[in-house]
Structure 1
Amino acid sequence: MATADPVGGSGQPLLVLGKIGEILDAFSLDRPSLTLGEIRDATGFPTSTVQRLVTNMVALGFLDRQGDQVRVGVKMAYWAAPAVKGVDVLDLIVPVLKQLRDATGETAAFFRAEQGHRVCVALAETNHALRREMHVGKIMPLHAGSASRVLLAWDDSLARSVLSQPLGSITDSTITSADELAAVIKQTRADGYAITIGEREQGASGLSAPVFKANGELAGCVTISGPTIRIPLDRCLEWLDLLVESAEHATRLLGGRFPTSTATI
């Protein structure tokens, strides 16, 4: 018996599949729920098309409806799980880092918290001759730098452990007060990112954003870093959207989701 061809005669995906993809792409971690009007605005589709496709996508589990809002269906997480099963997380993260490095010209890295320290576990290094020293496996303290702030902001138990210990001074800008560090950790979680200049290394800047697993736990953080002479504060601010979008893309590749709980420190 003949079956429907998922692509057209030209080898292109069926138009309806492209439209479904565009609707799903309209959702993001900072906009997980949308109205039909917001989907229409994001996709440019006619209202009737949005209504018809959303109704069918809800029926199939692609989307869930909550009042006048719709969001990506919980069933999608079930379908996504096999996609990352057996795939090394770093195999998914490294291409994101390379794209970020190519877009900014600066080093992009992925950090995790391990045994009370932060560790560089993946790297796309800048081509500039003047660069910060960074390598895979490098171990750094967890109380200094933008990556450390992010790793602590979404791990309450780790943050409490770090805050209960002496905070050594690394540069003149290192935070050594537990109360002050607790405040910036809280602010990092509220902002969804961190920017630091000269906190871990004099004359160096960094900006970091979180990446999450499917259960909402922190997988690590994506960081752009380099000499402050090339990355002053205004450049950090200029790259924030790109950074956060890259971290969100990494979260999606992992089948992850943004946590709904709030920090308790």
Structure 2
Amino acid sequence: MVSSGTPAAAPLLVLKKISDILDAFSLRKPELTLTDIREATGLPTSTVQRLVGNLVANGFLDKVGDHYRVGLKMAFWAAPATQNLDRLEVVKPVLRDLRDKLGETVCFFEASMNYRVCVAMAETRHMLRREMKVGRLLPLHAGSAGRVLLAWNDELLRDVLADSLDQLTETTITDRSSLSAAVEQTRRDGYAITTGERQTGASGLSAPVFDSQADLLGAVTIMGPTLRMPLEVCERWVEDLLAAAEQVTRMLGGRHPDDAAGRRTPSGKASTLPQGSPS
């Protein structure tokens, strides 16, 4: 008979520590030092050194100088899990969790021709809400989701800039150079916040989701009335938004195209647009 005492439980404790170490890595922090790992996990230095050494020896982690990153062997193991996975079935629970946490409508947008289309959503329970439905087509040059979809698709951006930029509200960007600058700022920040660009009195913030080839899949968007989502509220929600977008990306086996180039970690502040451009 197998004992149910402490010795049998010990391996589970080791697995929990290994899980904590692997969880310390993210798309925004793909490389960590031993000090970073210790601070993220709260584990003793000796434990971190011992477990990280074993993880490197077995291919779970790769060592680059004095930094570590998740090993390519992990990607090999993850491939069967993402094979034939319906991305919307991955997206929907994340949208619902974010909606339940923040209280506002959360959508997933994809590019379709020269438009953006809502392909999934979790609607707010507030009576006052921004009208949205799955399948709705919207312009790409106005709003935070469009900004994100353009920021990582140069061909789509060229197509949009070659067309007319319709004035939808008083703050819609209709100048091509201003739109180009705003899109570039979005790429540097890793997210976008807009207010009143597509609809007066409405705010939105969006972040990108990528596939395994680091190609853009779509944008996770939080949207609602500016009355409940003024700029300062949107700024507070940036980290929650980025965490949700990263969760979807990782569950789909994706990676961020700018990680190798040292993408800046977002600070939680809104994008600083060029002079004369609306927020």
TM-score (norm 2): 0.88
Partner amino acid, structure 2, of 1:55: G
Matched, 1:163 2:161: yes
The separation in 2 between residues aligned to 1:56 and 1:186, in whole angstroms, is 41
The separation in 1 between residues aligned to 2:57 and 2:11, in whole angstroms, is 22
Question: 1:85 Cα deviation (Å)?
Answer: 1.1
Which of the numbers 12, 20, 23 marks the counterpart of 1:22? Answer: 20
1:27-78 Cα offsets, whole Å, 9 max, x none, are 1111110011111111111111111111111122111100100001122112
The separation in 1 between residues aligned to 2:74 and 2:219, in whole angstroms, is 24
Question: 1:220 Cα deviation (Å)?
Answer: 0.5
Tell me the residue number matched to 1:83.
Answer: 81
* Cα 1:168/1:84, change in 2 over 3 Å: same
The separation in 2 between residues aligned to 1:238 and 1:250, in whole angstroms, is 20
The separation in 2 between residues aligned to 1:131 and 1:66, in whole angstroms, is 48
Tell me the residue number matched to 1:113.
Answer: 111
The separation in 1 between residues aligned to 2:241 and 2:14, in whole angstroms, is 31
1:115-139 Cα offsets, whole Å, 9 max, x none, are 1110000000001111111011010
Tell me the residue number matched to 2:101.
Answer: 103
The separation in 2 between residues aligned to 1:62 and 1:114, in whole angstroms, is 38
Which of the numbers 226, 231, 246 marks the counterpart of 1:248? Answer: 246
The separation in 1 between residues aligned to 2:211 and 2:250, in whole angstroms, is 9
Q: Percent identity?
A: 60
Partner amino acid, structure 2, of 1:250: V
Match of 1:65, SS state, is: strand
The separation in 1 between residues aligned to 2:57 and 2:33, in whole angstroms, is 17
Tell me the residue number matched to 1:74.
Answer: 72
1:196-250 Cα offsets, whole Å, 9 max, x none, are 0000111100000011111111111100001111111111011111111111111
The separation in 1 between residues aligned to 2:11 and 2:35, in whole angstroms, is 26
Question: 1:80 Cα deviation (Å)?
Answer: 1.0
Task: Map 1:143-182; keep pairs closer than 5 Å.
Answer: 143-182=141-180
Tell me the residue number matched to 2:266.
Answer: none
Which structure 1 residue ranges, 4+ long, deviate > 6 Å from structure 2? none
Which of the numbers 216, 221, 225 marks the counterpart of 1:223? Answer: 221
The separation in 1 between residues aligned to 2:105 and 2:188, in whole angstroms, is 25
The separation in 2 between residues aligned to 1:66 and 1:186, in whole angstroms, is 30
The separation in 2 between residues aligned to 1:160 and 1:83, in whole angstroms, is 36
The separation in 2 between residues aligned to 1:60 and 1:139, in whole angstroms, is 48
The separation in 1 between residues aligned to 2:137 and 2:255, in whole angstroms, is 27
The separation in 2 between residues aligned to 1:215 and 1:16, in whole angstroms, is 33
Tell me the residue number matched to 1:138.
Answer: 136
The separation in 2 between residues aligned to 1:82 and 1:117, in whole angstroms, is 33
Match of 2:117, SS state, is: strand
Which of the numbers 7, 24, 31 marks the counterpart of 1:33? Answer: 31
Q: Which runs of 5+ in 1 are unaligned?
A: 1-7
Match of 2:203, SS state, is: strand
Match of 2:125, SS state, is: coil
Say what the alpha-carbon RMSD is for the aligned residues: 1.8
Match of 1:27, SS state, is: coil
Which of the numbers 229, 233, 236 marks the counterpart of 2:234? Answer: 236
The separation in 2 between residues aligned to 1:131 and 1:42, in whole angstroms, is 38
